[in-house]
A and B are shown apart, each in its own frame.
Chain A
Amino acid sequence: MNNYELMVIFTPVLSEEDFKAAQKKYADLIAELGGATVHSNPWGLKSLAYPIQKKTTGIYWVLEFTGPSDINEKLKIQMLRDEQIMRHMITRLDKNAVEYNYVKRNGGFAMQDKIEA
């Protein structure tokens, strides 16, 4: 069971409940494929650094989950088929990353720890 982090950019025209429905759909898909979602973090509407598919804003969603190693291929097929999704990226988290996310979620990082040097 590896730790993965999925980041998805939806098209900005998506309404609020469509966005929630899409989140639920993929969370259930992961659960169905034998994985487990650790933490879902929707960022909402954000402006993009450069236009994607002629759009300058997108709805971001970050999901941290664990799953068997073949879960990503199935996820990718679903996401490429879904036209609401402009771009997605699945990254593998090593132990430092998992610990970083855990500490960040529980507000562990004091400001000076983030090295202002």
Chain B
Amino acid sequence: MAKNEIKYLTAIKQEKPKKKFCRFKKYGIKYVDYKDIDFLKKFINEQGKLLPRRLSGNSLKYQRKVQDAVKKARQMSLLPYVTDLLK
């Protein structure tokens, strides 16, 4: 029995990172509406800040559309600029 070889009864389950996908491409959404708040809320965190692409998984083209929509919603006070426990 090699000294350093540790055998576990059950295999260690490595947490396979969930494959991120751009939901706009997958579901064929073409336009991000700034009035649709609960859809936009998926792209901002608790403080109301925009989620980066690596977390939201969007492609660049649609991340920019989301960015514009969130900024318009903030301008028309549909979304707060800064808050806590938004969700």
Contacts and interface: CB of A to CB of B under 8 A. Distances in A.
8 contacts: A9-B76, A9-B77, A49-B74, A58-B77, A89-B76, A99-B30, A100-B30, A100-B33
Interface in B38-75: 39, 72, 74-75
Interface residues of A, number: 22
Contacts of B26: 115, 117
Nearest to B74: A49
A63 B27 CA distance: 28
Given A9-B77, A94-B31, A99-B30, 19 more contacts: A7-B76, A9-B76, A48-B77, A49-B74, A49-B78, A50-B80, A87-B76, A91-B72, A96-B30, A96-B31, A97-B31, A97-B33, A100-B30, A100-B31, A113-B27, A115-B23, A115-B29, A117-B23, A117-B27
Nearest to A52: B77
Interface of A: 7, 9, 48-50, 52, 58, 62, 87, 89, 91, 94, 96-97, 99-101, 104, 113-115, 117
Interface residues of B, number: 20
B75 A89 contact: yes
A58 B72 CA distance: 17
A58 B35 CA distance: 15
Most A-side CB within 10 Å, residue of B27, B76, B78, B83: B76
Contacts of B78: 49
Nearest to A43: B35
Contacts of A58: 77
